[in-house]
A and B are shown apart, each in its own frame.
Chain A
Amino acid sequence: MTFQYDVPGDDFTRAGEASGDLKKKMKKLGFPSDVIRRVSIALYEGEINMVIHANGGHITAEVSSKEIDLTLADTGPGIPDIEKAMQDGFSTASDQVRNLGFGAGMGLPNMKRNSDEISIETELGVGTTVRMKILNK
Chain B
Amino acid sequence: MTVRDIIKILDAELLYGNDELLDQEVAHACGSDMMSDVLAFVKDQAVLLTGLINTQAIRTAEMMDMKCVILVRGKDPLESVIDLAKDRDICVLKTPLTMFSACGLLYENGIRGGKSK
Contacts and interface: CB of A to CB of B under 8 A. Distances in A.
Contacts of A105: 36
| Chain A CB within 10 A, most for which of B34, B50, B56, B64 | B56
Interface residues of A, number: 26
A12 B52 CA distance: 14
A74 interface: no
Contacts of B62: 16, 20, 23, 40
Contact of B63 (A13, A44, A100, A102): A44
A86 to B, nearest CB: 13
B40 A13 contact: no
A40 B63 CA distance: 6
Contacts of A40: 62-63
Contacts, number: 72
Nearest to A40: B63
Interface stretch (A60-68, A106-114, A117-125, A127-135): A106-114
B108 interface: no
Interface in B41-57: 50, 52, 54-57
Contact of B54 (A19, A41, A100, A103): A100
A98 B34 CA distance: 8
